[in-house]
A and B are shown apart, each in its own frame.
Chain A
Amino acid sequence: MSLFKPASTAWLLAHEMRLAWRGYRGSRSGKGVGALIGLGILFAFACLGGVLLALAVHGREVPIHPLAVLIADLLCAIVLTLMLSQTLGASAEALYERGDLDLLFSSPIAPERVLLVRSLGVATGVATIFMVFAAPLLLPSILYGHPGWLGVFGVLIALALTATAGGLILAMGLFALIGPRRTRTVAQVLAALVGAAFFLASQTRTLLGETASETLYADIAREAMDGRLTPPPWASLPLRAMLGEPLPLLGMLAVGGGLFWLATTALGRRFSDAAAAAQGAASKRRRGAVKPAGAFAAGAFRATVRKELRLMGRDATLLSQVLLRVLYLIPLALVLARSAAKVDAIALAGGAGIVAFMAGQVAGSLAWITLSAEDTPDLLAVSPTSTATLRRAKLVAALIPVALLLALPIAALTWFQPLTGLITAVGAGLAAWACGLINVWHQKPGKRADFNRRRGASWLATLAEIMIGGLIAGATTLTVMGLAGWAAPLLIVALTVLMVMRRTDEQIGRALRVAS
């Protein structure tokens, strides 16, 4: 088996894949049948969509028309953007995640090969996600008259390779430009911004206003249909590749592969140096005038709130997730402000409900981090501070950023419609508090580093959060519409769900002991 000769690229790649597979299996353990059933249902719906698509396009060929070319290019740009968002985060993280990097770099294996394999792992992961989503939609058409559409998977691979090269170059560029201390945070934030770019672009109607955006879209479509918009010949390559034309497909794969090879080969040595520099350097502060320490917080409650806010503020991944939500709130704030100014009752009420729902979701995510992610549970356990005080402090710490986040849309609303602003604030407060409480009752202890995503969260708690958030959002919407009487049943159901989810201190303690 010369292919898997020890220390060869294939051998190293097999090692990476094995670790990735075990990591995946580890993360799946304990997810239960519920999650599998949910995935199965989702897959079945996607397959149904795929079958309907296959029936609809059977016997028809996709024309190489300017509008089709534009749509294909746009799709590629969106996918590439989303992939770049993932690969940038993964490339930056690879510099700081120690894992087995020290072992690999201290071995006689060339750093270029280590980077090549690690990057191949990133590219494979990204490509797989998109292919898994695309497969049920496309396979029926591929099997029923359009075998050439297999090219879509080739395009996805080419895009994944390009995005990985781009992510790597960007991460290394940031490292050289702003140093190890800030790269991690900036890369995560940048990844979030890149990921949100598509969403913001889709909101041009909201951002530019209805008339301006409709004129823009209509102009582009008319130009394309009339044949006045003539994209350059190379612009049709992605569409041709997706339809299975061999040369364009090979061309795209060659470009993606070439970029990937160039980036990993050129940056291999720099990457190993940067990874070494990242260790320990991440926290170095410039020497200079040392500021006197500020006053210490008085008491366990304040000290805990302050500690949690500091930890949240220094969590790059969490920050980028919060930033994403801020970005999502900007169009919402604009819709609310416009509707409030024009007294558009339906849009206003809907917007108020969305704010309340959003408050619950953000509060739930942050409370999950502050309550369950604790690096030193033993320190808290040996202290004389009561668990109830610590829990209250952690919940308050999670709610403070939510209040700051939602201040923007609520302030915009209150400016034009004070009563609606008040109702929205109450609805948002209730949703945030309820979703926070669910996380108090359903903690799953673990190290903060493991909590960057909502991995391991109880599906029941997540479902309850969505339900309660939705019910309170509905009640908020109805109250803003002047139907407060109809809001009451929704609030009663929300309260009932909350009571069902409630756990006593003893039950929480028992669950925590079992979990740890």
Chain B
Amino acid sequence: MPCSKPGIAALTEALIVRGLNKTFAKPAVVDLDLTVHAGELYALLGPNGAGKTTTLRMVAGLTKPDTGEISVYGVDARQDPAGAKALVAWAPDEAMIYDRLTPLEYLEFVAGLWNVDPAVAKTRAEQLLAQLGLADEARRRCEGFSRGMKQKVALAGALIHDPRLLILDEPLTGLDAAAARLVKDMLRARVDAGGTVILTTHILEVAERMADRIGIIAGGRLLAEGRLDELRAQAGGAGGSSTLEDVFLQLTAESASA
């Protein structure tokens, strides 16, 4: 599926985050700077409670930052939240769907929220459900669906409005091997077609294999960012053939002991 939004000039940076701060009971995100290039798959990694989800929720407009700037394809998300939201899709690990709606009805609703032309949305919905192997379930209510099926419906919802920036929080949770492969292929195809994807995952092999660039975050701070070889260099101690897991563990351990 092509990623296109008429009237928006192609920009090289899909997301620019500068000096982002958020404190709940304790600081969750601290002076975070992040840059995601257009047309890349960026993996944001970190241990539990590192601030990944809080960061992404702020980018998606769900959580208000205390301070900092967020720019999505040149649109200031704090000044023009609706303009930024029109370019973004957010799919958390818990599928945001309605049990009493069918996948088709759900997609109709989501397309309406993003003001997609009804005829285009209908065609796209049928294509997406077929692609995700849900064509036979399109008119069944979601209440009896497995977690994986619900995740797929939510992913179709995230793609129905053809977002330029797709943010996925743990997108492979609950998916079986075949469905996980399908989703990975779809994300890769989307990136190859010019779309931008940011995902978080605890499965480091997935990040290692799929991501163009990786950011590692801990304690709300960005510890390192770049391609795997750049991360190895930043980790210093890790050898040239070290895996992402080695680099990740070394960086986060250093951060914890600092």
Contact = CB atoms under 8 A, between A and B. Distances in A.
B144 A311 contact: no
Contacts of A314: 100, 141
A310 interface: yes
Interface in B210-245: none
Contacts of B62: 378, 381-382
Interface in A366-383: 375-376, 378-383
B90 A300 contact: no
Interface in B76-99: 82-83, 85-86, 88-90, 92, 96-99
Interface of B: 60-62, 82-83, 85-86, 88-90, 92, 96-101, 104-105, 108-115, 117-119, 121-122, 125-126, 138-144, 157
Interface stretch (A11-19, A195-203, A276-284): A276-284
B112 A382 contact: no
9 contacts: A281-B144, A283-B144, A299-B115, A304-B112, A306-B108, A307-B112, A378-B92, A382-B60, A383-B85
B86 A303 contact: no
Nearest to A386: B82
B155 to A, nearest CB: 13
Contact of B112 (A290, A300, A310, A381): A300
Q: Closest 7 interchain pairs by CB?
A: A303-B112, A383-B113, A283-B141, A296-B118, A280-B144, A376-B96, A384-B85
Interface in A289-306: 290-291, 293, 295-304, 306
A283 to B, nearest CB: 4
Nearest to B80: A384
Contacts of B92: 378
Contacts of A284: 140, 144
A279 B99 CA distance: 13
A382 B104 contact: no
Contacts of A315: 100
A303 B106 CA distance: 10
Given A384-B83, A384-B86, A303 B144 contact: no
Nearest to A308: B109
Contacts of B85: 382-384
Contacts of A378: 62, 90, 92, 96
A497 B96 CA distance: 37
Contacts of B90: 378, 382
Nearest to B81: A384
B118 A311 contact: no
A296 B121 contact: yes
B144 A282 contact: yes
A494 B107 CA distance: 41
Contacts of A303: 108-109, 111-113
B103 to A, nearest CB: 10
Contact of A283 (B121, B125, B142): B142
Contacts of A380: 113
Interface in A446-466: 448
A382 B98 CA distance: 16
B58 to A, nearest CB: 11
A378 B90 CA distance: 9
Contact of A307 (B98, B142, B143): B98
B77 to A, nearest CB: 11
B112 A299 contact: yes
Contacts of A298: 112, 117-118
B67 to A, nearest CB: 18
A285 interface: yes
Interface string A308-325: 001100110000000000
Nearest to A312: B100
A448 B100 CA distance: 10
A293 B122 contact: yes
A311 B112 contact: no
Contacts of B125: 293, 296
Given A280-B144, A291-B139, A379 B96 contact: yes
B112 A302 contact: yes
B99 A384 contact: no
A346 B110 CA distance: 51
Residue of A283, A285, A311, A385 contacting most chain B CB atoms (<10 Å) = A283
Interface string A333-368: 000000000000000000000000000000000000
Contacts of A384: 82-83, 85-86, 113-115
Contact of B98 (A291, A296, A375, A381): A375
Contacts of B101: 307, 310-311
Contacts of A385: 113-115
Nearest to A293: B104
Nearest to A285: B140
Given A303-B109, A384-B82, A384-B83, A285 B96 contact: no
Contacts of B112: 296-304, 306-307
Contacts of A381: 61-62
Given A295-B119, A303-B112, A314-B100, 19 more contacts: A284-B140, A295-B122, A296-B122, A296-B125, A297-B108, A297-B118, A299-B115, A304-B109, A307-B105, A307-B109, A307-B112, A375-B98, A376-B97, A379-B110, A381-B62, A382-B89, A383-B85, A384-B83, A385-B114
